[in-house]
């Protein structure tokens, strides 16, 4: 098993270090190699995703990724900005399926912005298509408006596009994931207004015929945004396009208490995947040793489960995380009255201790 480790910027190196200590505690036979990415790679090599870093990622079974970005790179031209590294990795490795589980841990029910009864026991899985949609569609650009309300004015445009095979493959991923859960899929679209999402709805409906054991319903994205805060537990697996998935998964993140708790997996057609916390590089708290490492540690658990065929080791990480929360240990982002505030390193220590105790 080969793992490429790309810590990145800001809190990235701090939280990835804890995930590595947790993986080491499991004593599994893997090789690990690190490379710079994002702003760190720009500083060292003049590019956010150097050839050597990309090759390391391509040759690995899995990539463990921290986060990239810092305000100090805001004035760089777009192609050199740290965030281009993650877009480049998704594209180059063909990582079209993004899994974002939103689980509200029982001990953190009070940390959610919603009423406890709405989030207690919450466990939903958002599956976002990651390599198509308006984020990548061509043509895009700026021009003088050829028509419309202000002909001749400066205008910018992007293009929303999906092909049938792109929608089919993400729909299969969603139905297969639902088979292992409560056998319900909600497909989120905007078919009432957008042709792209009429095709989306048609294709998902067609693919559903191959999964008669899974219940499918369709929801418009504006209603889905509302239902997610009104009654989130009505959802199980949610499948949607790149842009709607970006927005809805951040919304779902907040239901669970903190973005510092949320892992993610981005998978391609083989079992290769990139695993990263759902949050960014948090420059406001970088270097202070206070970042929550649990999202990254839980991402490492997803890596063991999806790419490295080590489901039992993944279970051990997840129960260790529940154990430290039950002990009352909290980083600042999830701290509340009556619990013990700990730093990044101490949180990592506690997870390692919970794992080694159980062996």
Annotated binding site for NAD(+): 280-292
Q: Tell me, yes or no, if 250 is annotated catalytic.
A: yes
For 140, 154, 156, 184, the CA distances from 143, given in Å and listed in that order, are: 10, 6, 6, 44
Q: Tell me, yes or no, if 24 is annotated catalytic.
A: no
Could you tell me the smallest distance in angstroms from the CB atom of residue 340 to ligand NAI?
A: 16
Q: 329-352 in b/e burial notation, b at 16+ Cβ within 10 A?
A: bbbbbbbeeebeebbbebbbbbbb
Could you tell me the smallest distance in angstroms from the CB atom of residue 288 to ligand NAI?
A: 10
For the chain, how many helices (H) and strands (E)?
12, 14
257 is a contact residue toward ligand NAI (CB under 6 A) = no
As a whole number of Å, the end-to-end CA separation of the chain is 22
* Cβ–Cβ < 8 Å for 160, 242: no
Candidate list 53, 196, 281, 299; residue touching ligand NAI; CB under 6 A: 281
Q: Which is nearer to ligand NAI, 83 or 168 (CB)?
A: 83
Residue ranges for the known binding site are 90, 100, 128, 222, 246, 250, 280-292
Among candidates 252, 222, 297, 237, which has minimal Cα distance to 97? 237
* Cβ–Cβ < 8 Å for 145, 153: yes
Q: Among ligand NAI, Mg ion, none, what does residue 352 contact (CB within 5–8 Å per kind)?
A: none
67 is a contact residue toward ligand NAI (CB under 6 A) = yes
Q: Tell me, yes or no, if 2 is annotated catalytic.
A: no
Q: The tokens of 261 are what?
A: 């708790």
Strand-pairing partners, residue 31, are: 2
Could you tell me the smallest distance in angstroms from the CB atom of residue 122 to ligand NAI?
A: 20
Candidate list 3, 42, 53, 70; residue touching ligand NAI; CB under 6 A: 70
Q: Tell me, yes or no, if 70 is annotated catalytic.
A: no
Q: If binding means CB under 5 A, how many residues of this protein chain bind Mg ion? A: 1
Q: Which is nearer to ligand NAI, 13 or 196 (CB)?
A: 13
Helices (H), the chain: 12-25, 39-45, 51-59, 83-93, 116-119, 164-179, 195-208, 221-230, 242-255, 294-306, 311-326, 344-357
Of these residues, 190, 201, 236, 275, which one is catalytic? 190
204 is a contact residue toward ligand NAI (CB under 6 A) = no
Q: Name residues whose C-beta falls within 8 Å of residue 110's C-beta, 6 or more positions apart in sequence.
A: 116, 336
Candidate list 123, 158, 202, 246; residue touching Mg ion; CB under 5 A: 246
Q: Which is nearer to ligand NAI, 16 or 125 (CB)?
A: 16
Q: Tell me, yes or no, if 135 is annotated catalytic.
A: yes
Q: Which is nearer to ligand NAI, 68 or 104 (CB)?
A: 68
284 is a contact residue toward ligand NAI (CB under 6 A) = yes
* Contacts to ligand NAI by CB under 6 A: 11, 15, 67-70, 83, 86, 259-260, 276, 279-285, 291-292, 295, 333
Active-site residues, by number, are 135, 190, 222, 246, 250
């Amino acid at each position: 098993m080969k793992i490429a480790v790309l810590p990145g910027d800001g809190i990235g190196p701090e939280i990835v270090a804890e995930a590595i200590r947790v993986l080491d505690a499991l004593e599994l036979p893997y090789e690990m190699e690190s490379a710079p990415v994002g702003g760190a790679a720009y500083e060292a090599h003049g590019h956010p995703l150097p050839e050597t870093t990309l090759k390391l990622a391509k040759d690995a079974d899995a990539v463990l990724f921290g986060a990239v970005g810092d305000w100090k790179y805001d004035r760089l031209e777009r192609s050199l900005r740290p965030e281009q590294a993650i877009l480049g990795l998704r594209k180059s490795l063909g990582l079209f399926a993004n899994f974002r589980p939103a689980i509200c841990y029982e001990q953190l029910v009070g940390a959610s912005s919603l009423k406890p009864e709405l989030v207690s026991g919450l466990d939903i899985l958002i599956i976002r298509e990651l390599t198509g949609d308006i984020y990548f569609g061509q043509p895009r650009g700026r021009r003088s408006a050829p028509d419309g309300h202000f002909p001749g004015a400066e205008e910018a445009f992007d293009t929303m596009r999906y092909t049938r095979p792109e929608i089919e493959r993400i729909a299969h991923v969603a139905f297969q994931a639902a088979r292992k859960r409560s056998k319900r899929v909600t497909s989120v679209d905007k078919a009432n207004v957008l042709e792209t999402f009429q095709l989306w709805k048609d294709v998902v409906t067609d693919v559903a015929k191959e999964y008669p054991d899974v219940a499918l319903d369709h929801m418009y994205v504006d209603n889905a945004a509302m239902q997610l805060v009104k009654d989130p537990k009505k959802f199980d697996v949610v499948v949607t396009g790149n842009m709607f998935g970006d927005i809805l998964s951040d919304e779902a993140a907040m239901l669970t208490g903190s973005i510092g708790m949320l892992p993610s997996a981005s998978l391609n057609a083989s079992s290769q995947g990139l695993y990263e916390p759902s949050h960014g590089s948090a420059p406001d708290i970088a270097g202070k040793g206070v970042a929550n490492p649990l999202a990254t540690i839980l991402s490492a658990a997803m890596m063991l489960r999806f790419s490295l065929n080590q489901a039992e080791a993944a279970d051990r990480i997840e129960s260790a995380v529940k154990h430290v929360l039950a002990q009352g240990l909290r980083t600042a982002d999830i701290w509340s009255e009556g619990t013990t505030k700990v730093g990044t390193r101490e949180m990592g220590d506690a997870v390692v201790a919970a794992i080694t105790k159980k062996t």
